[in-house]
Homo-oligomer: A and B are copies of this chain.
Amino acid sequence: MLNTMSTSAHPRPGSRTRGRPRDPELRERILDAAATLAMTAGIELGFERIAQEAGASRTTLYRWWDSPQELLLDAMLERTRWSLDHDSEGTAAARLRAQVIDAVEILSAPDTGRPLRALAAGALTNEKVRASFIEHWLEPRRAVAARILEDGMITGEFRQDLDVEAVIDALFSPIYHRLLLTRMPLGRSFGETLWNLVEPGLSPS
């Protein structure tokens, strides 16, 4: 439950030290190139460009990833591992609120928000990308929130009959919506507004 390194593209555990070992520096260059391109240029992410930018051969990218988006997902996962750590102190409400604000922050920062757009675009186009995106990006983050909600429900801080998934949707999908589609202002205050709006629905009685 800790690691969550990557979706693929790591030395297979079975094949210990046979043949020329993979060049780890190269891998980094590739991930960097993808992240950079996804941030600066638009959505048009292709193996061609990434390879060029990274000074790598296109063939090498094809060896390790099935699509540019999966590559980018790997890059994003490595660069945002911290965002899954969360405080376990304080009330469930405080912790959940903090997570909402964290999410706003991550999605509004250009170096994560922009790549995430590219990722989401890929997820809409390519079923495999969608699966990876959900499994490695969305799901882990939802799980953190779900855990907090369940805690709160057990301690009586929240209502017992909450639909956990729906609550998570209400709290976080607006952020993605603004990032991906409407591009309405996405700042800390939006996170707070959102929380204040949904919070009354969580309390008992």
Give how many A residues have a beta carbon under 8 Å from the other chain's beta carbons.
40
How many Å from the CB of A58 to the closest CB on chain B?
12
**Chain B residues with CB under 8 A of A150:** none
Contact of A193 with B176 at beta-carbon distance under 8 Å, contacts A121-B121, A124-B43, A182-B138 already known: no
Among the listed B173, B181, B198, which residue makes an inter-chain contact with A138, where contact means beta carbons less than 8 Å apart? B181
- Whole-angstrom distance between the alpha carbons of A127 and B117 in the complex? 12
Contact of A125 with B43 at beta-carbon distance under 8 Å, contacts A165-B184, A170-B198 already known: yes
**Chain B residues with CB under 8 A of A163:** 193, 197
Q: Which of A131-158 contact B (CB under 8 A)?
A: 133-134, 138
By beta carbon, the residue of chain B nearest A176 is: B177
- Are B180 and A166 neighbours in the complex by a CB distance under 8 Å? no
**Chain B residues with CB under 8 A of A194:** 166, 169-170
How many Å from the CB of A162 to the closest CB on chain B?
8
- Are B166 and A193 neighbours in the complex by a CB distance under 8 Å? yes
Interface centre among A123, A181, A198 (most CB of B within 10 A): A181
Tell me whether A178 is interfacial, beta carbon within 8 Å: yes
Among the listed B44, B121, B197, which residue makes an inter-chain contact with A198, where contact means beta carbons less than 8 Å apart? B197
- Are B181 and A170 neighbours in the complex by a CB distance under 8 Å? no
Residues of A at the B interface (CB closer than 8 Å) are 42-44, 117, 120-121, 123-125, 127, 130, 133-134, 138, 162-163, 165-167, 169-170, 173-174, 176-178, 180-182, 184, 190, 193-194, 196-201, 203
15 contacts between A and B (CB under 8 A): A42-B127, A44-B125, A124-B124, A124-B180, A134-B182, A165-B184, A166-B190, A166-B193, A169-B177, A169-B184, A170-B170, A176-B177, A197-B198, A197-B201, A198-B201
